Structure 1
Amino acid sequence: MAEYYNEFPSLLFFIWIGGVLVSFSMGSFYSTLAYRILRFYYGKERKIGSKLFRLKKILIEPSACESCGTKIKGAAIIPVFGYWISKKECSNCKAPINPLYSLAEAVFGLLFVVSFLFSGKLLGSFTFVALCGHLLIAASTDFKKFSLDYENLPFILLFGTLANYLLFDSVPGKTELIVYVSFSAVFFLVYFIFPTGMGFADAIFAPAFAFLCTHPWWIFFLNSSYGIAIIVTVLKRKKGETLRQVPIPMGVYFSIGLALTFLARMFSNSGLLPNWADLIL
């Protein structure tokens, strides 16, 4: 694929630009979707209207100011740059716009750049970006409400499986099934023995994420997830507070770990970095 692109440099240029712009838009969609899921399924508005009404609100309602509800129009709605074009505030009520939206959109563009740079696979890179979008939703609900959205898990499994196939030409097999069953057994055992130390959703999501990482990359996933969780928790804990007293949104770190594992696999396959799979065996 890379050789084909090299024969048509002008086509490659447009693919890069188009890919980044599409990824910016995907970042806008998923960051808005994460906010609306928190708003309509976890906030005060979760009791407004029917499930279909809330679903329409989440998926097709035009972007609007979070303070006054004014619809965002014109250049202000452009992903990443709209934040700066609108001078960081709502044109109607002058309320400041959350910069995290623009940052999230830019990060999605960066994820596409890194994925396409190291894999050379356009569709696979878009699938990976979509996977990260659903991981963002999982991380957002767990960070804000210590709750993982079960309805989101099938989408993570779908895009994770597609990304495995499109990026690495692999599909989960017998070994991955063994990893999933083993992880499930261990995590549910820990949950039932120490119910205050692990959430039920964690025991469901973690084995599924390990399944998507494939063997032996689930080791990288596990180490990166818990490693980052421990570092962040230690840095954020209050003076004199023990780690046992600190609630940890492991869904956030599992999501980060899964994304990092896919990136590490792409780096390893590119030949530009050591083969981490060999190092961890």
Structure 2
Amino acid sequence: MSIFIAIYVTLLGLMLGSFYNVVALRVPAGESIIHPPSRCSSCGTRLRARDLIPVFSYLFSGGRCRNCSAKLSALYPLGEAATGLLFLWVYLRTGLAGESLVGLALVSLGVIVTISDLKYMRIPNKVLLFFAPLLILLRILVPEYSLWSHMLGALAGGGIILLIIVISGGGMGMGDAKLLALCGLVIGLPNTLLALFIACVLGTLVGGVLMLAGILQRRQPIPFGPWLIIGIFVAYGYGSQIISGYFSLIG
């Protein structure tokens, strides 16, 4: 029975991932997520049912529009595949429980924010405002830690990045602060600090490699949201084990 649930959850993630692509790419551009229907961004041709199969349509078409042969963004299949795999990860971690809803909502927010930040270097307020009451309500109904831990996670997440913005004169964006404040409420303290630490390490390492390779120029801005999301997911799934393991090593 569990294998069928796992397959269903993965397929659900793939389908929702296709919709999350639409949200992530249209909302920051001020476009409706309902109208017009999905279309090629180059020639404007409306996509048919065969063009809307998550991941597989991209692979079967060779990553190009069937009408004008324009190259399609790899963000589409990557967003769909990531959502499907992350939905499966949440199910394997939580099973069928209240925490599953928290995890799926967190993953949904993370996928949308990552695609949006990679494309536009923006974390849309509309997306955060949509997920904020949902995640707050879910965390109140299904607390993982004490209420104080979740509240302190929100304060620490938003406060630390806000402090960095003030000190650095804009080294990060307010979208990052709002994102970590909201997700800090979900994962609690000290997981929020772990998430920020992981994000900073990954962002620094990847940014350094890209500069050495000549792909990224010094002082060229890069989106920090995706690294925050990776840190948040790692802390959400394995924060307690990582922190306990760290203290056991130094204890």
State the TM-score, normalizing by the size of structure 2: 0.80
Q: Is the 8 A contact 1:210 1:218 kept in 2?
A: yes
Instruction: Count residues with an aligned counterpart.
Output: 247
Match of 1:50 in 2: none
Deviation at 1:146, TM superposition (A): 3.2
Match of 1:279 in 2: 245
Match of 1:151 in 2: 126
Residue among 154, 163, 185 paired with 1:211 = 185
Q: Which moved more, 1:93-102 or 1:219-228?
A: 93-102
Q: Is the 8 A contact 2:153 2:190 kept in 1?
A: no
Relative to 1, partners in 2 of residues 1:165 and 1:118: Cα closer, same or farther, differing over 3 Å?
farther
Residue among 102, 114, 118 paired with 2:93 = 118
**Following the alignment from structure 2 to structure 1, what is the Cα–Cα distance between the partners of residues 202 and 85?**
21
- CA deviation profile, 1:170-211 (whole Å, cap 9, x unmatched): 266123323433444443333333313232333333333323
Within a 5 Å distance, the mapping from 1:21-36 to structure 2 comes to: 21-36=11-26
Q: Does 1:100 align with 2:75?
A: yes
Q: Is the 8 A contact 1:164 1:171 kept in 2?
A: no
**Following the alignment from structure 1 to structure 2, what is the Cα–Cα distance between the partners of residues 123 and 70?**
42
Relative to 1, partners in 2 of residues 1:89 and 1:201: Cα closer, same or farther, differing over 3 Å?
closer
Q: Is the 8 A contact 1:30 1:137 kept in 2?
A: yes
Q: Which moved more, 1:152-161 or 1:102-111?
A: 152-161
Match of 1:68 in 2: 43
Within a 5 Å distance, the mapping from 1:177-196 to structure 2 comes to: 177-196=151-170
**Following the alignment from structure 1 to structure 2, what is the Cα–Cα distance between the partners of residues 122 and 180?**
24
- CA deviation profile, 1:200-247 (whole Å, cap 9, x unmatched): 33333333332322122123212211111111111112579x997242
Q: Is the 8 A contact 2:116 2:122 kept in 1?
A: yes
Q: Is the 8 A contact 2:117 2:225 kept in 1?
A: yes
**Following the alignment from structure 1 to structure 2, what is the Cα–Cα distance between the partners of residues 178 and 145?**
30
**Following the alignment from structure 1 to structure 2, what is the Cα–Cα distance between the partners of residues 213 and 244?**
33
**Following the alignment from structure 2 to structure 1, what is the Cα–Cα distance between the partners of residues 150 and 232?**
15
**Following the alignment from structure 1 to structure 2, what is the Cα–Cα distance between the partners of residues 162 and 80?**
32
Relative to 1, partners in 2 of residues 1:233 and 1:181: Cα closer, same or farther, differing over 3 Å?
same
Paired residue type of 1:200: M
Residue among 225, 228, 241 paired with 1:251 = 225
- CA deviation profile, 1:67-119 (whole Å, cap 9, x unmatched): 11111113222112222344433232222333331232122111122221222
Bigger Cα Rg = 1
Paired residue type of 2:225: G
State percent identity of aligned pairs. Answer: 28
Q: Which moved more, 1:15-24 or 1:199-208?
A: 199-208
Please, what is the CA RMSD of the aligned residues?
Answer: 3.2
Structure 1 gap ranges (5+): 1-8, 42-53, 269-274
Q: Does 1:18 align with 2:11?
A: no
State the TM-score, normalizing by the size of structure 1: 0.73
